[in-house]
Amino acid sequence: MRLAEGVWEGLLSARDATAPRLLLRHKDELVGEPEAVVAGEGPEGTANWLVRFRLPVERISDGIQTFTIEDAETGDALAHETVVAGEVLEEDIRAEVSLLRAELDLLKRAFRRHCSEE
């Protein structure tokens, strides 16, 4: 839903009214347990939960950091938040745009070749 003042908030719909037990991971390491607060009833009797966690500032550094919220019982990933920071970002974006342009040029040539063959 949003990230404000270092706190991530999201809405989770669950089939039962029992509070979900959630884990927060960063680089496959457990870094916390997000808070889940009742946020009302959803469609067809589902329960809505407001899920919140404060980004651990000690985990923020140059580059791309991805935090994953998972179900503690099943290990299923439910949501993630990616934080991109620092000078590395500028180089990463340039590299990605360059790669996308090259792939687009390749697709355009293949498409033109396909159209001229017919």
Question: Are the beta carbons of 23 and 79 closer than 8 angstroms?
Answer: no
Position with higher pLDDT, 117 vs 100 = 100
Report field, pTM of the whole predicted structure over 0.75: no
Question: Are the beta carbons of 67 and 24 closer than 8 angstroms?
Answer: yes
Mean pLDDT of 33-58: 88
In tens, the pLDDT along 95-104 reads 788 788 889 9
Confidence check: pLDDT of 54 > 70: yes
Q: Residue 118's pLDDT band (boundaries 50, 70, 90)?
A: low
Share the mean pLDDT of the chain: 87
- Alpha carbon distance 83, 62 (integer Å): 9
